[in-house]
Amino acid sequence: MLDIINITVGYKHFPVLKELSLRIKENEFLGIIGPNGSGKSTLLRTICGILQPWDGKILLQGVEISRLTKKEIARKIGYVPQLSSFAFPFTCEEIVLMGRYAHDGHRKRDYEVVNWAMELTDTLTLKRRKINELSGGELQRVVIARALAQEPKILLLDEPTVHLDINHRMEIFKLLWELKLHGITIITVLHDLNLASEYSKRVVVITDGKVVYDGLPQDIIDKEIIKRTYGIDVNIIKNPLSRLPLILPR
């Protein structure tokens, strides 16, 4: 689905990702973890074409992303940034409708998809609300709905639950799991390691712009790896329900 081959990318003259390689299969649920400043968000921005690699390349279904137009990328990849802001007081429905810009379809179809995306993200009741009237959690759910309105094959999310209460946090991850079951590849950056353990089928650790660990949650969510990555001691037990690693602070 996605081949990231020896990419180096950064800002001005400062490299953030350094010869990073990663292969992502179709319909994976990939959790990306790592300390602040390690390059996780930069990786997502590069995958969706916002940033261009200084060296190396990214192949989307065998085609180099740099050869695709913005619309072609948008029909394949949806991106939910960590923070979103809007200069004008659009309604939430108008924001989600913006996700249809890459599709040259009928207006009726556009609104059908918008309603579907807003229903999935529990934002239908916000349809007529202005975007600048929302709480942080409501705004995040509307932005996820906008990405879903693109009907992407890959959904990139940068800390999608950062502003959400525990109820909507779980709802978003249930939604992401349902999307995976419908064939969408999920790639999400997470700081909540317990969410990464419970929902990701594969966990990648990025440190200093490189992939340093890559494997199953039960292999990666390990107290020695956590200590080397974050510099902290933790206790890890098995979740009595899922049997997956559960991190407890010491």
What Å distances lie between residue 11 and 54, 57, 111, 189, 234, CA to CA? 10, 17, 38, 20, 34
- Region class of 54: left (phi > 0), else alpha (psi between -120 and 50), else beta: alpha
What are the residue ranges in the chain where pLDDT is below 50?
none
Q: Check: CB of residue 123 under 8 Å from CB of residue 99.
A: no
Q: Cα-Cα-Cα-Cα dihedral of 64, 70, 74, 75, to 10°?
A: -70
Lookup: tokens for 217: 């949650």
Distance of CA 71 to the CA centre of its chain: 19
Q: What is the pLDDT of residue 130?
A: 95
Alpha-carbon distance 150 to 172, whole Å? 18
Q: What is the pLDDT of residue 9?
A: 96
Averaged pLDDT score across all residues of the chain: 92
Q: What is the pLDDT of residue 247?
A: 93
Q: What is the pLDDT of residue 232?
A: 92
For the chain, the three-class secondary structure string (H helix, E strand, C coil) is CEEEEEEEEEECCEEEEEEEEEEECCCCEEEEECCCCCCHHHHHHHHCCCCCCCEEEEEECCEEHHHCCHHHHHCCEEEECCCCCCCCCCEHHHHHHHHHCCCCCCHHHHHHHHHHHHHHCCCHHHCCCEHHHCCHHHHHHHHHHHHHCCCCCEEEEECCCCCCCHHHHHHHHHHHHHHHHCCCEEEEECCCHHHHHHHCCEEEEEECCEEEEEECHHHHCCHHHHHHHHCCCEEEEECCCCCCEEEEEC
Alpha-carbon distance 231 to 167, whole Å? 30
- The residues pairing with 4 across neighbouring beta strands, listed in sequence order, are 22, 58
